[in-house]
Amino acid sequence: MGRGDGTGRLVSTTDADDSGTGILHVDMDAFYVAVAQRHDPSLRGKPVIIGAPESRSVVSSASYEARRYGVRSAMPVGQALRLCPTAIVVPPDFPRYLSASAEVMTIFRDVTPLVEPLSIDEAFLDVRGVRRLWGTPGHIARTLRARVLDDTGLTCSIGVAATKHVAKMASTISKPDGLLIVRDVDTDAFLAPRPVGALWGVGPKATETLLARGIRTIGDARETPRPVLDRALGPAMGERVWNLARGIDPREVHTDRVEKSIGHEETFDSDIADRGILRSEVLRLADRVAARLRAGGWEASTVSLKLRFADFTTLTRSMTLPDPSHVGQRLGEAGHTLLDGIDLRQSVRLIGLRAERLLPAGSTAPALWDADEDWRRVDAALDTATERFGRGAITRATLLGPAPGGRTLPSNPRPEHRLPD
């Protein structure tokens, strides 16, 4: 596997055999950076970091030029700038990313109706049913890459394989701006030398457990008896590794995927110990999460609060709402309840609020009366102002001005937009 900076990439020749394939995994290359470069061409070919300029914020994305210095996503911006002092820091622009994502997803759906978005910048496509219309999977992938570039100015990498898991691995190995085809009969040979941590869903802890037992490659995992994997990882993960190591992945491309959660996180310029300031930030986050719920036509059944303390330990608490809601005040009250139940043993570095177990708005039985009618009018005013003037044009009075003891504004507003595994 490459290091995420384009070194070690593998790509297929133009006449590569694609027999037995039919699943494409399309992954946009350094998407946030590419969108920023499209907006400002002077950034092309330069080391670029997407993130807030404050050193305590984190890297959302980095150009391949910056990655070659060791810059990675989720790395503190200060550390990234020490590794790459010439990097240009560009603030995130999520409305622009969402617009670009809609462009590329439309192109995908022009090719096949069987499109399964995984996130804002990647998707699975099942092209087995459109071969007569567009040609072989390899030809479709090449045509698709060319059209994405021509229509949007953005590049993507595509893996073509018989299963979702292998297609996703192939697209990663071909980055950036590459195409890698893995014939069905070549699946075992393709998988065997790859590191065991490259298996989809095998995280750092599982990887460490396997490495400690001498299981370093996917080929090693394939040769390991199933009971050994079960004892090391537990039955569920053991079965997953056993199957994926053999190229067994029966999952189909699903077009009815829904968002699992929507959230926002804030990293503070300096650590916060004042509970009053934290309560204000919870309400600020709740309004932003609620706005995205309403825009997407969702209501949340559960609210989750995340705190990261000064020593980087992280704590998460959640609660189920009496009724699903996309009202900012209701989400904020739930966040306050969760915060009040936490012992602030240290000052807080990061705070996040997430809406979970999403349901289509209005899908539950309505109450006899609307206790949130007034708050809905407040939310409608916020939505209207945001649409006309941008986020922050209007806000709650309680969130204006310095808080007692002085407010420390967030340095890295970061949305979370998670999709099911």
Q: Which residues are catalytic?
A: 122
374 is in an annotated binding site: no
256 is in an annotated binding site: no
SS (H, E, C) the chain: CCCCCCCCCCCCCCCCCCCCCCEEEEEECCHHHHHHHHHCHHHCCCCEEECCCCCCCECCEECHHHHCCCCCCCCEHHHHHHHCCCCEEECCCHHHHHHHHHHHHHHHHHHCCCEEEEECCEEEEECHHHHHHHCCHHHHHHHHHHHHHHHHCCCEEEEEECCHHHHHHHHHHCCCCCEEECCHHHHHHHHCCCEHHHCCCCCHHHHHHHHHCCCCEHHHHHHCCHHHHHHHHCHHHHHHHHHHHCCCCCCCCCCCCCCCEEEEEEEEEEEECCHHHHHHHHHHHHHHHHHHHHHHCEEEEEEEEEEEECCCCEEEEEEEEEEEECCHHHHHHHHHHHHHCCCCCCCEEEEEEEEEEEEECCCCCCCCCCCCHHHHHHHHHHHHHHHHHCCCCCCCHHHCCCCCCCCCCECCCEEEEECCC
Name the binding residues for Mg(2+).
27, 121
Name the binding residues.
27, 121
